[in-house]
Amino acid sequence: MAEPNKKLHIAMFPWLAFGHIIPFLELSKLIAQKGHRISFISTPRNIERLPKIPPQVAPLITLVKLPLPHVENLPENAEATMDVPYHIIPYLKKAHDGLEQPLSHFLETSTPDWIVHDFAPHWLPPIASKLGISRAFFSIFNASTLCFLGPTKSSVIEAHEPRSEPNHFVVPPKWVPFHTKVAFRYFEAKQIFDLFEENDSGNSDWFRYMKVLSGIDAIAVKTCVEVEGEWVKLLGELHDTPVIPVGLLPPSKQESLGNKDSNWDTIVEWLNKQEKASVVYIALGSEIQPSQNNFNELAFGLEQSGLPFFWALRKRKGVDSVQLPEAFEERTKDRGVVWTGWAPQFRILGHESVGGFLTHCGWSSVTEAFQFGRALILLPFLGDQGLIARFLEEKQAGVEVPRNEQDGSFTRDSITETLKLVMQDERGKIYRDKAKEMTTIFGDRDIHSRYVDKFVEFLENKIG
């Protein structure tokens, strides 16, 4: 047991993707609010790109810059997944492995009580263990996704046949004891084998994840039992490790509204002219690169829907960007905006003219949308996004765009029909109502604050 009121020193070490870094930072700020010291560790350029830390917790958060080692094939100044095309990410993982020595040195000299880390540093648990530092894996993925990925508890593994072909992944795993539709589609299942194969970093993602999980004291998950109760319970059984939901870490409204942003002035001027709940907001995250054909169908489907839209179209660095159909912007300029700069998503979703969100189903984006009860049009592309889409459909909290099972392609008509169903049709009222209902959980800051309290209590009471 920690001494009463002992202030802890907690090191936070996220993977080099802003979809991971930002939830780690949100959790850091909430822990610092309880008076504990945080060392937030990343690379110099990522630290420089962080949002400003609020003054009330800034004295307790030290930003630790570990220079990223140079690795062949990794462009200069590339320090996050958003800086490189998808096929270069393994080299970023290789560079990240080069942080082992500097991180070890930091841990030796600053002796934190805990290190809260991500899936990538497979080498970290034994180092921290040797130094007597407690270890928690913090998953930005939700509990149902982690359960689908599989167990580490040997008795559960031995009781089930290994999944060795795509067809094994298109049905719920045998170790899930309750009814669910959470599984991959065939075109997603084919991609999932990338996880298990050694990549250019020298290790598979699965190897990293399993190594990390084999050497921890706890699993912290960005979820809550009100949303994923049975999955949270199952996760603990599959790993034989304490699982602590930390809540959904909603971004602070005060912070989002307090940041002066010239982009926002232009965006809000347009949003203010639109009718209430009429606009569909489209954002596929910073890592999605649809094929040109899929991109065209999305654009044409949006155009033929006739709906007002705001499309946050992030260009990926070092990628031959897909192009909008010829004269698309000209034809839609009276009712739509294609925005290629940085878009303040949380503020856009919070605007009353926005009625729906066409999303890639990243868990953080879903969390933001349900703060405001925005109905979801689901268009997953990568990794866990397909599993989140099924999870949301199961709850009738969104509708997935119909796709070709073999290659994941979709048509402009399927985009148009799904948009109209969710945004306008009487048949889609159930989804709009369900999304509004979700605000009672996702938008209740007191619920999520209590989860962080419980997590901090766990950290205080379990040292070494």
For residue range 18-55, list pLDDT tens digits in order.
999 999 999 999 999 999 999 999 999 999 999 999 99
Q: How far apart are CA 340 and CA 316, in angstroms?
A: 11
Q: What is the pLDDT of residue 422?
A: 96
CA-only gyration radius of the chain, Å: 22
Percent helix, percent strand, percent coil in the chain, to nearest 5: 45, 15, 40
- Residue 319: pLDDT over 60: no
Where is average pLDDT lowest: 112-121, 190-199, 256-265, 310-319?
Answer: 256-265
Max mean pLDDT among 134-138, 187-191, 441-445 falls in: 134-138
Contact 15, 118 (CB under 8 A): yes
- The separation between CA 172 and the C-alpha centre of its own chain, rounded to angstroms, equals 22
Which of 345, 453, 376 minimizes the C-alpha distance to 19? 345
Collapsed DSSP state (helix, strand, coil) of residue 298 = helix
Contact 240, 153 (CB under 8 A): yes
Higher pLDDT, 224 or 86: 224
- Residue 299: pLDDT over 60: yes
- Residue 93: pLDDT over 50: yes
Where is average pLDDT lowest: 107-116, 151-160, 195-204, 355-364?
Answer: 151-160
| Averaged pLDDT, 364-390 | 94
pLDDT in tens, 94-127: 999 999 999 999 999 999 999 999 999 999 999 9
Q: How many other C-beta atoms can be found within 10 angstroms of the C-beta atom of residue 67?
A: 12
Q: Which amino acid is at 212?
A: V
pLDDT in tens, 337-352: 999 888 899 999 999 9
Give the chain's mean pLDDT: 92
DSSP code at position 402: P
- Give residue for tokens 């999305």: 298
| Averaged pLDDT, 65-88 | 93
Contact 78, 84 (CB under 8 A): yes
Q: What is the pLDDT of residue 258?
A: 46
What stretches of 202-286 adopt beta strand conformation (E)?
218-221, 243-245, 279-283
| Averaged pLDDT, 362-375 | 94
Catalytic residue positions, numbered: 20, 118
Q: How far apart are CA 324 and CA 230, in angstroms?
A: 43
Which of 398, 400, 397, 395 minimizes the C-alpha distance to 381? 400
Q: What is the pLDDT of residue 196?
A: 83
CA angle 209/213/219 to nearest 5° reads 110
Q: What is the pLDDT of residue 426?
A: 95
Q: What is the pLDDT of residue 1?
A: 47
Contact 274, 308 (CB under 8 A): yes
Collapsed DSSP state (helix, strand, coil) of residue 220 = strand
Contact 227, 249 (CB under 8 A): no
Contact 25, 50 (CB under 8 A): yes
Ordered DSSP codes for 130-152: HTT-EEEEEESS-HHHHHHH---
| Averaged pLDDT, 308-335 | 84
Categorize the per-residue pLDDT at 168 as very low, low, confident or very high, splitting at 50, 70 and 90: very high
DSSP code at position 54: P
Categorize the per-residue pLDDT at 390 as very low, low, confident or very high, splitting at 50, 70 and 90: very high
Helix (H) / strand (E) element for 365: namely helix 363-371
Where is average pLDDT lowest: 16-20, 66-70, 314-318?
Answer: 314-318
CATH topology of domain 9-250+445-461: Rossmann fold (3.40.50)
- Residue 260: pLDDT over 80: no
The answer to whether the predicted template modeling score (pTM) of the entire model surpasses 0.85 is yes
Q: How far apart are CA 61 and CA 425, in angstroms?
A: 48
Q: Tokens for 239?
A: 């790993």
Q: How far apart are CA 229 and CA 227, in angstroms?
A: 6
Q: How far apart are CA 360 and CA 386, in angstroms?
A: 9
Contact 455, 246 (CB under 8 A): yes
Q: What is the pLDDT of residue 462?
A: 77
Q: What is the pLDDT of residue 463?
A: 59
Q: How many other C-beta atoms can be found within 10 angstroms of the C-beta atom of residue 439?
A: 15
Higher pLDDT, 317 or 132: 132
Collapsed DSSP state (helix, strand, coil) of residue 378 = strand
Collapsed DSSP state (helix, strand, coil) of residue 243 = strand
List Cβ neighbours of 339 (8 Å cut-off, separation of 6 or more): 267, 310, 311, 312, 313
- Residue 163: pLDDT over 70: yes
Q: Tokens for 17?
A: 């993707």
Q: Tokens for 13?
A: 């070490």
CATH topology of domain 260-442: Rossmann fold (3.40.50)
CATH 3.40.50.2000-classified regions of the chain: 9-250+445-461, 260-442
Q: What is the pLDDT of residue 160?
A: 85
